[in-house]
Amino acid sequence: MTRQIGLILLCFFLATAMLPARADKVDLPLRFDRYFDDAEMVEALKALHKAYPELTELLEVGRSEENRPIMCLTLNNPKTGHYLDKPATYVDGNIHGNEIQAGEVCLYLADYLLGQYGHNRQLTELMDRAVFYIVPVVNVDGRHHFFYGLSSAGGGNRSLRIPTDDDNDGLVDEDMPDDLDGDGTISTMRIRDPFGGWKSDSEDDRLMVRVKPGELGDWRILGEEGIDNDGDGSVNEDEEGYVDGNRNWGAYWQPPYVQSGSGEYPFSGIGIRALADFIRQRPNICVAWAFHNSGGMVLRGPSAKEQGEYPREDVEAYDFLGKNAEKMLPGYRYLISWKDLYTTYGDFLEWMNNLNGTMGFVGELFNVTVSETYKSNQEMQKKGDDEEESFFTNRIERDRERLKFNDHLAHNELYKPWKKVKHPTYGEIEIGGWVKMSSRIPAPFMIRDMVHRNAAAVIFSADHLPQVSLEKVKVVPLSNGLSRVRVRLHNSKGIPTMTAMAKLKRIYPQDMLKASGLKVVAAGPVSDEYTDRVDYKAYRPELQFLRLNAFGSLIYDFLVEGSGTLALEYSSVHAKNQSLKIVVGAVN
């Protein structure tokens, strides 16, 4: 009996040792030298809300397919205004379940802003005038299963947990990967085969390289670890899902035969639909950041060529923000999605831009070739891979370097040595290679720099939320009891008060400048200040409709009758409202 109890305890210890380290509780300030699982993410948000109740609101946006909460932490100082009356930044991450570091960026952003409030002048002023909506984990089910289910270096648990018949056999999710060696991760299977197309690398036999034409090899790669669970002759062909949370939005959506992972219809994902409803109830969102991995990129739309380029004024604002973000993120590139990466349909970015009139960026967080390095200064200064080398040669060079990184900086946490295993179909095989916490995810010691730099890019764009001033230019008495009142509206920041796309598609009302208190005889924007050329509005001149570009200014003339106080009210969906009172005393 004692021996049986001992065996049970040993098995329990081995099983729990495979799970990520988890703190007994989440303490502040938050640590960013490890990854938070989905439950710890929620606890961290609760801890921040408890520590800063006067600056935060914690809301459950909705529930996932497996009934997990999707949480949003709103950062706002109510003493300086209601959250809907200020320009806002929306930030989310982890819409793909295996892209866990995206959640860490969002969580760090919240922790950093709140912790610096009252201590850092720049961030305090920003928090007083702006709002942040932060949703660290969109795909809460995927994050949970990435940590505690089975995932590989190449993916796994990326999808929304919507059962899908991937192999068209009438069954759903019936042939997932299998952990054949019981180590908690899905690795690569290989089998001895001289005709398999691969051989052991001469420099490091843990790696494999392609054989040359006519050359015999050592191995055939069998794919990810698993067996034929449904007996159809294929292995792992019907994994979880597959509905991609970033192909399920209602903008340029395409069915699955055009866009893989799009789902049966837009917003078929329960959590995606709840998040869309949440965003639509917050029209003050001016800019959005959605964090993914990997590749080290700051992406903007369009996501498909056929959509056409964005209006020129919007592109100028995107370029200003994107190029500055690129400077804050060494090795990252500011790119256009369809042109520089690939075409997507039904993605979040286009839904925000085309249906909500919100500027948006995707942050692809991790560049393996830049970050996982093992080179001297002289080697770093040399030119990159020889252009004449094949793709496979380049890849093996990168993998050799990554193995050195694994051996000497990550201390063998990223790569599993090959191990012989009996497979029910293939017989004796070997299992090994890169593990799930490698390839697309930075090692824990690299997290802090990544989250801070990307949070800083978000803060830069938030600092350029539209900020409008309304000021008197001059009052000129005219004859017949009339006066000319000239005022200037100026946006001192790099995000427009209304995108040109939003105006073109009439997504939401334009800004409005309203005059009251005196009779307005005529009014309109000044097209040439030096020659006093004014484009007078034909009807209702007391109401002027407008939008202010990034760093833009507009001057308006109001011809008013009589004397007294002219009250001017500027209102905007995306900029804080302004008012101005001007005393007018006309001459006879």
Cα dihedral across residues 351, 356, 357, 360: positive or negative = negative
| Rounded Cα gap, residues 417 and 411, in angstroms | 13
Q: What is the pLDDT of residue 370?
A: 82
Neighbours of 371 (CB within 10 A): 18
Q: Which of 150-159, 222-231, 378-387, 445-454 is most confident?
A: 445-454
How far from the centroid of its chain's Cα atoms is residue 1's Cα? 54
Backbone torsion region of residue 231, taken as left when φ is above 0, otherwise alpha when ψ lies between -120 and 50, otherwise beta: left
- Decide if pLDDT at 574 tops 60: yes
Q: What is the pLDDT of residue 9?
A: 38
Q: Which of 81-85, 295-299, 352-356, 381-385 has the lowest mean pLDDT?
A: 381-385
- Decide if pLDDT at 116 tops 90: yes
Q: Quote the tokens at residue 581.
A: 């009172």
> Identical fold at 2-146+256-366+453-463 and 468-584?
no
Q: Nearest 5°: phi and psi at 583?
A: -80, 125
| Rounded Cα gap, residues 388 and 95, in angstroms | 38
Q: What is the pLDDT of residue 24?
A: 45
Report the half-sphere exposure of 181 (CA within 13 A, side-chain side): 20
Cβ–Cβ under 8 Å, residues 330 and 371? no
DSSP 8-state assignment for residue 394: H
Backbone torsion region of residue 125, taken as left when φ is above 0, otherwise alpha when ψ lies between -120 and 50, otherwise beta: alpha
Q: Quote the tokens at residue 205.
A: 């036999």
**Residue 379 pLDDT grade (very low, low, confident, very high; cuts 50, 70, 90):** confident
Q: DSSP for 82-138?
A: -GGGS-EEEEEE-SSTT-THHHHHHHHHHHHHHHHTTT-HHHHHHHHH-EEEEES-S
pLDDT, tens digit, 9 for 90 and up, residues 394-431:
788 989 999 999 999 999 999 999 999 999 999 999 99
| Rounded Cα gap, residues 486 and 280, in angstroms | 36
Residues 6 or more apart whose Cβ sits within 8 Å of residue 182: none
- Decide if pLDDT at 155 tops 80: no
Question: What percent of the chain clears pLDDT 70, i.e. is strictly above it?
Answer: 93
Q: What is the pLDDT of residue 25?
A: 65
CATH architecture of residue range(s) 468-584: Sandwich (2.60)
Element (H, E) at 469: strand 468-477
With CA atoms as reference, report the closest residue to 150 among 219, 222, 227, 93: 227
Residues 6 or more apart whose Cβ sits within 8 Å of residue 381: none
* 3-state secondary structure at position 376: coil
- Decide if pLDDT at 1 tops 80: no
Question: What percent of the chain clears pLDDT 90, i.e. is strictly above it?
Answer: 77
Q: What is the pLDDT of residue 553?
A: 97
Q: What is the mean pLDDT of residues 156-175?
A: 84
Neighbours of 60 (CB within 10 A): 12
| Domain boundaries defined on the chain | 2-146+256-366+453-463, 163-240+375-434, 468-584
Q: What is the pLDDT of residue 165?
A: 79
Q: What is the mean pLDDT of residues 72-85?
A: 97
Q: What is the pLDDT of residue 393?
A: 47
Q: What is the mean pLDDT of residues 103-129?
A: 98
pLDDT, tens digit, 9 for 90 and up, residues 12-36:
333 333 344 444 467 888 999 999 9
**Which has the higher per-residue pLDDT, 380 or 45?**
45
- Decide if pLDDT at 322 tops 90: yes
With CA atoms as reference, report the closest residue to 414 among 380, 395, 440, 375: 440
**Residue 565: beta bridge partners?**
583
- Decide if pLDDT at 176 tops 90: no
- Decide if pLDDT at 10 tops 50: no
**Which has the higher per-residue pLDDT, 479 or 236?**
479
| Rounded Cα gap, residues 44 and 47, in angstroms | 5
CATH number of 2-146+256-366+453-463: 3.40.630.10
Q: What is the pLDDT of residue 18?
A: 38
Amino acid identity at 555: I
With CA atoms as reference, report the closest residue to 60 among 278, 245, 270, 281: 278
pLDDT, tens digit, 9 for 90 and up, residues 237-269:
877 778 999 999 999 999 999 999 999 999 999
- Decide if pLDDT at 452 tops 80: yes
Q: What is the pLDDT of residue 369?
A: 80
| Rounded Cα gap, residues 574 and 88, in angstroms | 8
| Rounded Cα gap, residues 524 and 535, in angstroms | 5
**Residue 206: beta bridge partners?**
none
pLDDT, tens digit, 9 for 90 and up, residues 261-311:
999 999 999 999 999 999 999 999 999 999 998 889 999 999 999 999 999
Cβ–Cβ under 8 Å, residues 469 and 578? yes
Q: Quote the tokens at residue 233.
A: 């002759």
pLDDT, tens digit, 9 for 90 and up, residues 178-225:
889 888 888 999 999 999 999 999 999 999 999 999 999 999 999 999
Q: What is the pLDDT of residue 23?
A: 42
- 134 burial (CB, 10 Å; 0-12 / 13-18 / 19+) is buried
Neighbours of 320 (CB within 10 A): 18
**Average pLDDT of every residue of the chain:** 90
